[in-house]
Structure 1
Amino acid sequence: MSFTLVMLGDDRLWAARLAQAVPNLRVLCPRSEAEARVALAEADAAYGALPAALLAHARRLRWLQAPQAGPPPGFYHPALVEHPVQVTNMRDTYTDHVAAHTLALVLSLARGLPRYAREQQRGQWAPDWDPGSVLPLPEARALVVGVGAVGLEVGRLLATFGTQMVGVDARRTKPAPGFQQIVPAEQLDEQLPQADLVILTVPHTPATESMIDARRLALFKPAAFFVNVGRGPTVRLDDLVKALKAGRLRGAALDVFESEPLPAGHPLWGRDDVLLTPHVAGAGPHADERRFAILLENSRRFAAGQELINVVDKAQWF
Structure 2
Amino acid sequence: MSYKFIFLPPAGERARSLGAAIQAAVSGIEIAYGDDRDQALAALPGARAAFGTLDAELLAAASDLEWLASPAAGPPKGYYFPELIASDITVTNIRGIYNDHISTHIMAFVLAFARGMHRYFRDQFEGHWRKGGEGSPSTYLPESTALIVGVGGIGAETARQCKNWGMTTVGIDPRVEEAPEGVDELHRPDALDRLLPHADFVIATAPQTPDTEGLFTAAKFEQMQDSAFFINIGRGSNVVLADLDQALREGRIAGAAL
Provide TM-score, normalisation by structure 1.
Answer: 0.70
Equivalent residues, number: 253
Alignment-derived partner of residue 44 in structure 1:
48
Q: Is 1:115 the equivalent of 2:83?
A: no
Matched, 1:126 2:136: no
Q: Unaligned stretches of 5+ in structure 1?
A: 255-318
Deviation string, structure 1 residues 261-297 (Cα, Å, up to 9, x no partner): xxxxxxxxxxxxxxxxxxxxxxxxxxxxxxxxxxxxx
Other-structure match for 1:169 = 173
CA distance, structure 2, for counterparts of residue 253 and residue 162 of structure 1: 21
Compute the displacement of 1:116 (Å).
1.4
Question: Does 1:7 find its partner at 2:11?
Answer: no
Cα offset for 1:64?
Answer: 0.6
Tell me whether 216-225 or 142-151 shows the greater mean CA deviation: 216-225
Q: Which of the pair has the greater relative contact order for Cα pairs under 8 Å at 6+ separation?
A: 1
Task: Measure, in 2, the Cα distance between the counterparts of 1:88 and 1:149.
Answer: 15
Whole-angstrom distance in 2 between the partners of 1:139 and 1:193: 15
RMSD: 2.7
Q: How many angstroms apart in 2 are the aligned matches of 1:192 and 1:80?
A: 41
Listed one character per residue, the Cα deviations across residues 242-266 of structure 1 (whole Å, up to 9, x for unaligned) are 1122322121122xxxxxxxxxxxx
Greater shift, 155-164 or 46-55, is seen at 46-55
Give distance in 1, aligned partners of 2:227 and 2:36: 53
1:209 and 2:213 equivalent? Answer: yes
Secondary structure at 2:94's aligned position in 1? coil
Task: Name structure 2 gaps, 5 residues minimum.
Answer: none
Moved more, 166-175 or 115-124: 166-175
Q: How does 1:1-318 map to 2 (within 5 A)?
A: 4-8=4-8, 9-10=11-12, 11-15=15-19, 18=22, 21-22=25-26, 25-71=29-75, 73=76, 76-79=79-82, 82-84=85-87, 85-127=89-131, 133-254=137-258
SS in 2 for 1:82: helix
Distance 1:221 1:81 in 2: 45
Rounded to whole Å, the distance in 2 between the matches of 1:251 and 1:157 is: 21
Mapped partners of 2:45, 2:197: distance in 1: 53
Distance (Å, rounded) in 1 between the aligned partners of 2:192 and 2:90:
31
- Partner of 1:182, secondary structure, is strand
TM-score w.r.t. length of structure 2:
0.84
2:59–2:84 contact (8 Å) kept in structure 1:
no
Shift, 1:23, TM fit: 6.1
- State how far apart, in whole Å, the 2-side matches of 1:46 and 1:216 are: 41
Counterpart Cα distance in 1 of 2:98 and 2:129: 38
Aligned equivalents of 2:79 and 2:215: distance in 1?
19
